[in-house]
Amino acid sequence: LKDIFNFDEAEKVVAKYPCWYLQSVLLQGYIYITQRHICFYAYLQKKTGVTIKSGYLTKRGQRNPRYKKYWFVLKGDVLSYYKDPSTPFSPRDVIDLRYGVSADITPTQAQDKEIASFSVVTDAKTYHFKAETASSATEWVKQIQKVIFRSRNNSDSVKICLPVDNVVDIEESNFPDFADTIKIRVIDNDETFAVDEYFFSFFGFGEEALRVLRSLTQETSAQRNVTATLSPASGLTSRSARSSSELERSTLDLTHEREESTSSPITKWRSGQKQKQWDQFPRDASESNVSSSDQGNDSEMSESATGTDASGSHILSGSVMFHKPTIGKHHADNVASHNANTQTDVPFAPAKRAGKEPGANTLTKNSPDTQAQDMQQSDSSTLGGLMKVGAVPIQRASGFLYNSGKRVSGLFGGTPSEYYDKFSGMIAGGKKHYAEADELQPGEEVQDSEDEMTVREAEKSFRSHFALPDSEKLVATFFGFFHRVLPLYGKLYVGSTRLCFRSFMPGNWTKLVVPFKDIMDVDKERGFRFGYSGMVIVIRGHEEIFFEFGSQDLRDDCTVTLLRSLDSMEPFQESVLLTEEEKKDAEAAAAENLLLQEARQGDRGDHDSSAVSFDDPAASVLDFKPEESLRITCLTIGSRGDVQPYIALCKGLLAEGHRPKIASHAEFGDWVRSHGIDFAPVEGNPAELMALCVDHGMFTPSFLYETNQKFWPFVKGLLKTAWAACQDSDLLIESPSAMAGIHIAEALGIPYFRAFTMPWTRTRAYPHAFGMQNSRMGGAYNYMTYVIFENIFWKATSSTINRWRKEDLGLKATSMEKMQQDKVPFFYNFSPSVVVPPLDFGEWIRVTGYWFLDEADNFTPQKELLDFIKKARTDKAKLVYIGFGSVVVPDPKKLTLDIIAAVKKADVRCILSKGWSDRMDKKDAKALEVPLPDFMFQIASAPHDWLFRQVDAAVHHGGAGTTGASLRAGIPTIIKPFFGDQFFFGSKVQDLGVGQKVLTVTENALGKAIWIATHDSRMIEKARVLGEQIRSQDGVGTAIKAIYRDMEYAKTLVQQRVARAAQADTDAEDEEEVEVEDSWTLVENDSDPDAT
């Protein structure tokens, strides 16, 4: 406490209690009672990068009084709103709460009607909103109030220090009625004798705290010279004369704040300074003074009406406008001698558009001459305040005219040459680089006639347009078109951590803000229109974003600038950055908070509450394990790679005490049973279907014709045997390619889940795996591929399936609408680091992580293979794996020769796993058509989890399981897709920057790809980081927890019950909240478990 509160000497701590300081919000912290001081400390770490709340609200237009529905996101200190949740990078507008004044429920005349409207006041506008329920509106207001409160604090802590000698009296307060509240009245200092009031609420230990405080102050008052409190001339002792604001304070120009506090009976925080200290701070523009003048009168009237007396320091300030009192801040120079380099913080920082003012003013004792000068300044301040109030109507009118015309007038320069430069640049599609922010090397700067001041103004305007922090720098700007439904002309801003765009089209206010951490890749594409060059931004979990430029050079420059900025970013860096000063303040505040926590733990008394944390993000996942053992059937068809993940899942279910069974093709029976898992066979030969896919392509006319001739016997046999295999099951998990599961679950009345290794759910983020194109087609195309595939698949099989439902299952015919396949709980067993869950996925769709089946422990490699690997390492040669599985190719010999030539060209060693041939049922597919050179070694098979750890890169066909295994090993991956989902995973590997997709196997194409994969340090590092992420994920464990959590939901779907009833019950429970919290916003110290 001596270091943090700058005491002259260490003081014995009499007592300490967790409590809440009452101002416009309830501020959580600790009160420390020493022999000489009453201290309060609160740690308020700013959560600048966290999404605090999101949901639908209706907003009233600034000019149109009608309300319109938007999706709102409160993140950091910015409230953004969007058309819907699927457009998180295109805000309709942003509200910067750093300049927020208040957030309040809007009163209504109808007393019996729930209030679901609220308003948010900033220094520029007042926004009006409506929520769906009154409880939702209250929650929004509370969260916004928290953000406004936190953003006003210069640093991350709030401190109050009250000398015991200055305490006038201590008494109980009956407000609020849900806590024990103590009011402390304190003399401001020995010069003004202003009396301020402080309120502290206790949810426990209130009576004890009151007894200790009264005892301490009574002992002090008995020794105090009463006359000394009446006149500074009577001579106070040095200790008793210590001002309650002796901590050096920086007082704020609160003409920006305009916050109403009628909801709180608490006397405002005291300033502890005279007008001289106020005048030391620079004033803002006249429009701020106008607003505060008007607000000051309102505050004065409201205080008189409620009967609350202003503190003496307010009256002595000599202004007709009551300024908000503040809590002080240590000056940096006075605290430099302390080891922690601590700094006392200001809870209400001045909101200035130009950024936060560094430093703090120091309060010193005033001489009598200084006091006389202060009185003169106070008188002039009174006159100035009256003049400001009288000027309100005129200045408001001038401000309206200025704001209405500044958007148009901003386009016109002060001279004809400036006018020509602006419009010619916009029309021609110009660009500008900001060399300092871009970190260009000497000699690379782009010459520009504008001076440094113009660059600073451009950065300020850039941050203002998109409500960005002061740490965001402007790297470059480009004029171009943003493609949505129609091309929108505007300006691209490349910042230090974000890509932004705003439209210049009249009547269109489109904005785009994309953090670099969400960008996977930047590619050049052909333009949609003739004569234009295109650029596509690949975003994690979202559809691609397209831009067009008037020239190829402009497009290339923008692409290179973006890629350079992405490369300079640290891997997975947060989008919100702090300045160096903010970092130091945050570190100092965190160190103070940690010291206090350690001190309390070292001297733990009876007043520390047990730690209860509700900030665990996994707490929202209900992990209810069934009490009884379940009989779980996993139905899947396809190749070995389709069955292997289910073996891993079933082994996890076995460990949980359940009785799993896999139903698949008979050829996998022995393999499944070797892992102790029950097996049931189903008919069908998927090898024939794979041959059709390779020979004719997916869903081509020839593919449909051949399928019509050969596929129906397979479907009929599959449906009948699947029905038999799933008997006596309590739960069914199915790969949707098996087609039968959703109908079997309906007939048996059991919960039904889907799981698959490739995309099957409608989304705009990426196309269906069977609808991949060589070029990107956009969100509308992506979504349509799923719709088309579902309709084709159902039309082709519906007659057979409905006949089977009637004959074997005893069910009526169904349709796509009745099945509601898009509502079925779905597990994707690939990594969310590889395929980011799209934002338009339903909450019942989970990307769990890979279900790996580790078989390396039971594998013994042959001696020749180990010798080949050892020799490659001894020769310091790069080692790669090449294998395409059992695919059908028209000329197997040519493929083998091309692979040999590519390996030789790349100058690497190769482990080859040959399985390709010219027909599916060929017995000697692994036989070589030509002998291999000594830099290549052929193997029959090896577990991927062992093999990929031995090599530097892998070349394969891009199956889901093989791709997951190579990425898990952390090595660059080259994919040569042949059909189906292999094209999808090839594109994902390339977008992630951890490998490449090659469409043809030739000496040059494959050789170049292998050389890059084994020598590109950027690709190697990205693959290593991705491998670490995948290895840290527990896909099987996540899937099992999701099964438990979604069990009831799955039952309601199968039993044809409507899930809206359960949602209605949840909504009703949410509305039955404790009413005592409705009037207060709690600002918690989330990092302190004791306080929590």
CATH code of domain 631-847:
3.40.50.2000
Mention every residue, 6+ apart, whose C-beta is less than 8 A from residue 922.
none
Question: Contact 960/757 with Cβ under 8 angstroms?
Answer: yes
Pairwise pLDDT comparison (462 vs 379), residue with the higher score:
462
Q: Give 615-646 pLDDT, tens digit per residue.
A: 333 333 344 678 899 999 999 988 888 999 99
Q: Give 640-696 pLDDT, tens digit per residue.
A: 889 999 999 999 999 999 999 999 999 899 999 999 999 999 987 666 666 666 666
Q: What is the pLDDT of residue 324?
A: 34
Q: What is the pTM of this model?
A: 0.58
Query: Quick one: DSSP state of residue 805?
Result: I
Q: At 950, phi and psi to the nearest 5?
A: -95, -10
How many whole angstroms separate alpha carbon 434 and alpha carbon 477?
Answer: 9
pLDDT higher than 80, residue 388: no
How many whole angstroms separate alpha carbon 1041 and alpha carbon 801?
Answer: 32
Class (C level, CATH) for 860-1032: alpha beta
**Chain centroid to CA 2:** 39
Q: Which two tokens stand for residue 611?
A: 């730690």
- Assign a CATH topology to domain 1-44+153-250+326-354+578-608+1082-1092: PH-domain like (2.30.29)
Highest mean pLDDT among 249-263, 602-616, 924-938: 924-938
Select from 846, 910, 838, 917 the least CA-distant residue to 881.
910
Q: What amino acid is encoded at 590 in this protein? A: A
Highest mean pLDDT among 36-45, 83-92, 214-223, 964-973: 964-973
Q: What is the pLDDT of residue 658?
A: 95
Question: Contact 324/254 with Cβ under 8 angstroms?
Answer: yes
Q: What is the pLDDT of residue 472?
A: 87
Q: Which two tokens stand for residue 292?
A: 């505060």
Q: What is the pLDDT of residue 944?
A: 93
Dihedral angle, C-alpha 900, 901, 907, 911, nearest 10 °: -10
Indicate the burial class of 61 (C-beta count within 10 angstroms; 0-12, 13-18, 19 or more).
Answer: exposed
Expressed in angstroms, the distance from the first to the final Cα of the chain is 21
Same fold? 631-847, 860-1032: yes
- What sections of 410-496 are H helices per DSSP? 416-428, 435-438, 452-466
pLDDT higher than 90, residue 876: yes
What is the chain's alpha carbon radius of gyration, rounded to the nearest angstrom?
A: 35
Taken in order 61, 66, 68, 74, is the CA torsion positive or negative? Answer: positive
CA atoms within 13 A on the CB side of 859: 15
pLDDT higher than 90, residue 439: no
Q: Give 878-905 pLDDT, tens digit per residue.
A: 999 999 887 777 788 899 999 999 999 9
Q: At what angle do helices 286-306 and 368-390 cross, to 10 degrees?
A: 100
pLDDT-based confidence at 153, cuts 50/70/90? Answer: low
User: Which of 165-174, 452-461, 694-703, 905-914 is least confident?
Assistant: 694-703
How many whole angstroms separate alpha carbon 812 and alpha carbon 317?
Answer: 84
Pairwise pLDDT comparison (506 vs 645), residue with the higher score:
645
Work out whether strand 195-202 and strand 519-526 pair parallel, antiparallel, or are unpaired.
Answer: unpaired
Select from 802, 812, 820 the least CA-distant residue to 761.
820
Mention every residue, 6+ apart, whose C-beta is less than 8 A from residue 26.
20, 201, 1080, 1081, 1082, 1083
Q: What is the pLDDT of residue 686?
A: 60
pLDDT higher than 50, residue 752: yes
Q: Over pLDDT 70: what percentage of the chain?
A: 66
How many whole angstroms separate alpha carbon 910 and alpha carbon 285?
Answer: 71
Give the pLDDT mean for 757-762.
Answer: 91
Select from 698, 694, 715, 712 the least CA-distant residue to 788.
698
User: Which of 583-597, 636-650, 1060-1074 is least confident?
Assistant: 1060-1074
Mean pLDDT, rounded, of the chain? 74
Give the pLDDT mean for 236-258.
Answer: 35
pLDDT-based confidence at 780, cuts 50/70/90? Answer: confident
How long a stretch of residues is the chain? Answer: 1092
pLDDT-based confidence at 59, cuts 50/70/90? Answer: very high
How many whole angstroms separate alpha carbon 275 and alpha carbon 82?
Answer: 45
Q: What is the pLDDT of residue 754?
A: 96
CATH of range 51-152; options 3.40.50.1400, 3.40.50.970, 2.30.29.30, 2.40.37.20: 2.30.29.30
Query: Quick one: DSSP state of residue 685?
Result: -
How many whole angstroms separate alpha carbon 438 and alpha carbon 440?
Answer: 6
pLDDT higher than 90, residue 987: yes
Domain locations in the chain as residue ranges: 1-44+153-250+326-354+578-608+1082-1092, 51-152, 417-442+451-568, 631-847, 860-1032
Q: Which two tokens stand for residue 643?
A: 């069955």
pLDDT-based confidence at 429, cuts 50/70/90? Answer: low
pLDDT-based confidence at 712, cuts 50/70/90? Answer: confident
Q: How far apart, in Å, are the Cα atoms of 174 and each of 266, 455, 566, 609?
A: 12, 56, 57, 24
User: Which of 214-218, 342-346, 434-438, 976-980 is least confident?
Assistant: 342-346
Q: Which two tokens stand for residue 256?
A: 């920006």
pLDDT-based confidence at 922, cuts 50/70/90? Answer: low
How many whole angstroms separate alpha carbon 423 and alpha carbon 67?
Answer: 36
Highest mean pLDDT among 248-257, 385-394, 611-620: 385-394
pLDDT higher than 80, residue 814: yes
What residues does 479 pair with on adjacent strands?
Answer: 491
How many whole angstroms separate alpha carbon 19 and alpha carbon 441?
Answer: 55
Q: CA triplet 507, 509, 513: central angle to 5 degrees?
A: 165
Q: Give 541-583 pLDDT, tens digit per residue.
A: 888 899 999 889 999 999 999 988 887 765 434 434 455 666 6
Q: Give 295-329 pLDDT, tens digit per residue.
A: 333 333 333 333 333 333 332 333 322 233 333 33
Class (C level, CATH) for 417-442+451-568: mainly beta
Q: What is the pLDDT of residue 570?
A: 52
Question: Contact 605/13 with Cβ under 8 angstroms?
Answer: no
User: Which of 194-208, 462-476, 573-587 is least confident?
Assistant: 573-587
- What sections of 442-493 are H helices per DSSP? 452-466
pLDDT higher than 60, residue 610: no
Q: What is the pLDDT of residue 413?
A: 43
Q: What is the pLDDT of residue 146?
A: 83
Select from 504, 488, 485, 481 the least CA-distant residue to 551.
481
Q: What is the pLDDT of residue 526?
A: 83
